[in-house]
Amino acid sequence: MKTLEIAAKIHILDESELTFEQKNVVEAAKSATSRSYSPYSHYKVGAACLLDNGEIITGSNQENAAYPSGLCAERTAVFYAQSRYPDARILKLCIVGKTASDVFSREVCAPCGACRQVILEAEYRSGAPIEILLPSQEGIYVLNGISTLLPFGFTYKEVKET
């Protein structure tokens, strides 16, 4: 039997350690929570993408009574960024959540499996990892690419070969 051990390297920064760009994308994601439509879960999620052209694109979760017809904040932001600026690379992506009492989550608001796959595709399209920021009460978790959370994701290359 063989064993494969997968380790993740995640930096946890204090807000004072963030760069100007990181602070801007975190604030944009926090602001995006106010545009969430979440009458069912009562969990507001905001996401913000910083593009290589300097634009910050935001998204929020949009729920629907015909579950699972809604869309997560990060997919809303990534898809909008790619449709509006198809040649721009996403440099940073921040995801934040707010509870029903309108308080930012104590824990990180990590992307679901579908969002992880969409982020991986965005990285594949641009040929570079996306820095992912996940604020929490402990600090801001900073990941260098989605492979930290999705080590066995698949891309167009694998799908094309089948």
Catalytic position from the list 63, 74, 123, 131? 74
157 to 79, 81, 145: CA distances (angstroms) = 20, 22, 18
Name the residue with tokens 């064993």. Answer: 3
Given a contact cutoff of 8 angstroms between Cβ atoms, the answer to whether 97 and 44 are in contact is: yes
What is the rounded distance in angstroms from the CA atom of residue 125 to the CA atom of residue 27? 26
What is the rounded distance in angstroms from the CA atom of residue 29 to the CA atom of residue 153? 25
74 is catalytic: yes
Q: Which residues are catalytic?
A: 74
